[in-house]
Structure 1
């Protein structure tokens, strides 16, 4: 039996409305759902991405701290989105710039190239492409 791929990622945000606007602009789509979880513990907005992947934003009721994310604490380091080529990375760099989203441009390494940027809660995100053969 092979190990399954990721089906969804859910991140906790401090202001769901603000983050949903930001991610809707980034993804070019509105959430597939935006509702309270059945048990009432959290509210979430979920986006459907290419390849059947879901990306969720959660706000846990009574737990909003306003703390900014840092990958230096135990837990999530960053979320990487796959792109197919260096050309696509260049397109994303232009789109991020046009949207006013700060990034450091395309960084190359022997294992691939990527563009790192952050969401409104400082959560680290990346577009990544494997090396072209």
Structure 2
């Protein structure tokens, strides 16, 4: 049986009033979903042209008073695929325009990445395969 494609990623944030505008600016779009659910969280969800959904959640239960760390068991980072290194270079310009600190493009044998963090410190990356 084939393994299904990745459908969505949801990241917990501390405050939608802070993270919502930050992600709106980064993604240059409005979410397709903005609702408080009966499951005890408010979420904003964006739909990408490739069918993938990306969401941020603020739970009714307050988050612990700590920043994200990729060194805890669980999520390491969220990687967004880019077509090539030239697209990564355009993202460097865009992140600079937004005032978002980033790693600069790092080239490795397995591809090139541009790492940055959201307001809660969640590790994000734009990534392009080599070639």
TM-score normalised over the length of structure 1: 0.94
Equivalent residues in 2 for 1:17-28, closer than 5 Å: 17-28=17-28
Q: Which residue of 2 aligns with 1:123?
A: 122
Root mean square deviation, CA, Å: 1.0
- Aligned pair 1:58/2:57, yes or no? yes
Q: Deviations over 1:60-103 (max 9, x none)?
A: 10223342101111110000000001100000011101110001
How far, CA to CA, are the matches of 1:50 and 1:101 in structure 2? Answer: 24
Q: Which residue of 1 aligns with 2:13?
A: 13
Task: Please identify runs of 4+ aligned residues in structure 1 that moved more than 3 A.
Answer: none
Q: How many residues are paired up?
A: 131
Q: Which residue of 2 aligns with 1:31?
A: 31
Give the direction of change, closer, same or farther, for the CA distance of 1:29–1:66 in structure 2 (3 Å limit).
farther
Tell me the secondary structure at the aligned position of residue 95 of structure 2.
helix
